[in-house]
Amino acid sequence: MSSESKNDPRSPARPFWLSGHFAPVANEVTAHELPVEGELPNGLDGTYVRNGPNPKDGFSPHWWFGDGMVHGIHLAGGRARWYRNRYVRTARFTGTVLDRERRLRGGGTSNTHVIEHAGRILSMVEAALPMHLDGELSTVGAFDFGGAVDTPMTAHPKRCPSTGELHFFGYQVVRPYLTYYIADAGGRVVSKREIEVEGPCYLHDFAITERYALFFDSPARMIRDWGAGMPFEWSDSHQTRIGVVPRAGGEVRWFDVESGQLCHTANAFERAGTIVLEGIRSARFEAAPPYLYRWELDLESGRTRERRLDDRLVEFPRIDDRRTGRPHRYTYVVEMLDFVDGAPTRSLLRRYDAETGTSLAQELGPGQIPGECVFVPRSAWSTEDDGWLLSLVRDGERDVSELVVLDAGHFGAAPVARVRLPQRVPFGIHGSWVPAAD
């Protein structure tokens, strides 16, 4: 491949994550008072933020390895007040030489998720500490919870809706392989425990229930540190199992399950002596399609049951985060209908209803490629589907990107609003709603 064809975004020689709707954008943009089609709900008062890889020199050897870029859209008073996109300025981004310690301390990329906790916006990647961003998405610096976190941090922490605690973990190729942390609602780490495992494995996501944390020990073994390509190797001899860890402390209990890996958690909860974990499962790391799946762990008998819930190819499961750890009714996913070279080229949003056992598609129109959707409740007291769903959507026919707002209570109906963004937003990974401060 010539370097010319590799660097030409229209070249078919370029991998999927550098072309089409994944192609990185070159500029950091600030725009105010964005055009809105439809009516933005007055109740949306805050900032939608979403992270994703956007290699600054236009090339990365894998989708996961591009520099992180956070896109933000600030909504208030029925208007779209601003759009900003900013690189997460890690040490690698600014050109600092990286040893392992520096990578851990926010040196590598930070491109996977972005959340708010205890007044801080945190950009996250599972290979390093989170990066603290200010309200306008500029990088403040690496964040180690006041020195309490000395391992990488997952990009999928879970906030307990009852306590406001942030539960998270770090995995790494050296001991301790797996560390489980709990930070209180104020951002202070109040619990740090090593979870004893045979060795490190790819552990992208986990789950909490009201009393337990769940860790998925898969055959995707971590065989070296990040920094020299994908550090995982599938081991057919490794028994896949789920570790059930009491949040309050105590023995870990392991449940053997079918060989496979948890890609993303939808939710987990306890029901009549059983722990239910729902999420996206793939039978093999980067080599098998993702499906919605349910594992049930019987705490009394020790038996497990598991099954695929649907034959559609789906990813990016999200729920109303206020249901985290307790039974939920609705799961929202991105369904992938067509692929070219591993990249989805046609997709839609789908909602699963656990009460009826049915699902419903949300068509957005031809050429529209939605990303993960985020649920925003109408108020703290509203019911599970009383609120809105936000998704960044690429319109391939018009070559624009929009923040699409759906009424969650009328899933499947036309969007209530579309916010036109001043530039294309590459298909990215995870995002959050950051409510305006009271």
Give the integer Cα–Cα distance in Å for 75 and 139: 21
165 token code pair: 């605690």
Amino acid (one-letter) located at 220: A
Give the integer Cα–Cα distance in Å for 53 and 277: 29
Residues 6+ apart with CB under 8 A from 340: 16
Give the integer Cα–Cα distance in Å for 255 and 239: 10
Omega before 176 within 30 of 0, i.e. cis: yes
CA dihedral 360, 363, 368, 371 (to 10 degrees): -20
Which has the closest alpha carbon to 268: 182, 327, 352? 327
430 appears as a binding residue in the annotation? yes
274 token code pair: 């059983």
132 appears as a binding residue in the annotation? no
Q: CB of 425 within 8 A of CB of 84? A: no
264 appears as a binding residue in the annotation? yes
CA dihedral 147, 148, 154, 158 (to 10 degrees): -130
> Which parts of 46-186 fold into alpha helices (H)?
91-94, 100-102
Region of 249 (left: φ > 0; alpha: ψ -120 to 50; beta: rest) is left
Give the integer Cα–Cα distance in Å for 333 and 339: 17
Binding residues for Fe cation: 156, 204, 264, 430
Residues annotated in a binding site: 156, 204, 264, 430
